[in-house]
Amino acid sequence: MEHLIHSRVKNIEISGIRKFFNMVADRPNLVSLTIGQPDFPTPEHVKEAGKAAIDNNFTTYTHNAGLAEVRQAACQFVREKYGLDYDEQEVIVTIGASQAIDIAFRTILEEGVEVILPGPVYPGYEPIIRMCGATPVYVDTRHNGFRLSAALIEPYITERTRCIVLPYPSNPTGVTLSEQELLELVRLLKDKPIWILSDEIYSELVYADRHRSIAAWLRNQTIVINGLSKSHSMTGWRIGFLFAPEFLTKHMLKVHQYSVSCASSVSQKAALAALTDGKNDADNMRKQYKARMEYAYERLVSMGLGIEKPTGAFYLFPSIHSFGLSSFDFALDLVDKAGVAVVPGSAFSSYGEGYVRLSYAYSFETLKEGLDRMEKYIQQKR
Ligand SMILES: Cc1ncc(COP(=O)(O)O)c(C=O)c1O
């Protein structure tokens, strides 16, 4: 019967992050710096709101787009933080940012169109683009400090370009875009019949300046993806948001409705607490991430690895070109010889080859131990 499975689904592969993790997960005494989720617990008051929802039997379907009060709170959150102007008809509460990406692509993509992405990039976009029959077009950002700039994108824009994926701060590089860089993109894309899928899931984890959304300038053609997984350490609650003009959300809502009906009612009540009383919950976590980043960055520089200094998220993406191994073989050797797991850069498209991703969403002790082991390994390799 296997020949009766859709060829596009057969042709996609499980994520390289997962593949690598499955291979090494049961190694004893392994220090893992692989995971892309916060190591902090969900804030106590948010957990309480979830518990209260269960106790009050708030356990039924909600409006397909999500509870009105949650949508209003989400609009208020992005208004206060990023100056965005959306109303409750223009937001959908999704099952994590992942489902927001899925329904956005399924609403705007069709056979034969092209989607421009930065390379390297988070592996959650390409499989969905391909399942829609569209073609991913990667733009090499490696010689531009991993920044997807207007100048880099321009030569790739064709009549078939339907969408540009703009994820910032970036997973895996930790790099974000400045207002100046965004304004250049705005000048290039304004009035072009091209959507911008702006994945801003790390918007609360920006270190230097404050986060700016491209939707502040190109509201009519931008789909903003956000959520609480990273900002409020709520990966398991599965709450994401999708902001777009109403002429688009009304279509995305149909895809959402027939796919999942609605996000979990219990999680939505927790989300309400996170967005209101907990709107600044990320501040303390951000401080700690920044301190860890500064420490880990200095350590990697002193090991002689080429690295772009991150300005957001919780990843570092050093180059391992000088070791003459593929990123997969390097990561495997690092597990075998040093007992440290990092993610091979090739998990983030072929443009990630020659790099590895370290996450610093780990305690300082774990981070130090992992870096000590890595340093010893590198000294022996040289
Ligand atoms: C850039 C990016 N977008 C989306 C997601 C998915 O987020 P969620 O867990 O809310 O589905 C992730 C998760 O790692 C991510 O790194």
Query: What pLDDT does 364 receive?
Result: 95
**What pLDDT sits at residue 3?**
94
The residue type found at 341 is A
E-only strand ranges, 102-221: 114-119, 135-140, 161-167, 195-199
CA of 176 to the centre of ligand 1 (A): 15
**Which of 94, 129, 201, 357 maximizes ligand 1 atoms within 8 Å of its Cβ, making it the mutation to test the pocket?**
201
117-130 in b/e form (b: 16+ CB < 10 A) is bbbbbbbbbbbbbb
Q: What span, in angstroms and rounded, lies between the C-alpha atoms of 228 and 182?
A: 24
Q: Is the CB of 171 within 6 Å of ligand 1?
A: yes
User: Which pLDDT score is estimated for 70?
Assistant: 98
DSSP helix/strand/coil, 205 = coil
Between helix 364-381 and helix 327-338 the angle, nearest 10°, is 110
Nearest-angstrom CA–CA distance, 147 and 155: 15
pLDDT, position 124: 97
CA 210 to chain centre: 18
- 3-state SS track over 325-369: CCHHHHHHHHHHHHCEECEECCECEHHHCCEEEEECCCCHHHHHH
For residue 307, the one-letter residue type is I
In the block, residue with structure tokens 């990123």: 327
- Which fold does the domain 2-42+281-381 belong to in CATH? Aspartate Aminotransferase, domain 1 (3.90.1150)
CATH 3.20.20.450 fits 44-275, yes or no: no
- In this prediction, the residues of the chain whose per-residue pLDDT falls under 50 are none
Distance of alpha carbon 64 from alpha carbon 71, whole angstroms: 11
195 Ramachandran zone, left/alpha/beta (phi>0; psi -120 to 50): beta
- DSSP state letter for 174: -
Instruction: Look up tokens 């490696």; give the residue.
Output: 142
Tell me the backbone φ, ψ of residue 47, rounded to 5 degrees: -60, -40
Nearest 5°: CA angle at 198, between 45 and 86?
65
- Non-local (6+) Cβ contacts of 203 within 8 A are 81, 82, 169, 211, 213, 226, 231
Residue 149, both tokens: 């700039």
User: In the numeric block, which tokens belong to residue 197?
Assistant: 């899928």
CA distance 180 to 187: 11
Cα of 214 to ligand 1 centre, how many Å? 19
CB atoms under 10 Å from CB of 20, counted, come to 22
| Ligand 1 pocket mutation pick from 15, 204, 229, 348 by most atoms within 8 angstroms of CB | 229
CB 152 within 8 A of CB 174: no
According to the model, what pLDDT value does residue 359 have?
97
Residue position matching structure tokens 């390379």? 119
Delimit the domains of the chain by residue range.
Answer: 2-42+281-381, 44-275
Contact 83, 128 (CB under 8 A): no
Ranges assigned E (strand) in the chain: 31-32, 91-94, 114-119, 135-140, 161-167, 195-199, 222-227, 240-243, 315-316, 340-341, 343-344, 356-359
* Any ligand 1 atom below 6 A from CB of 174: no
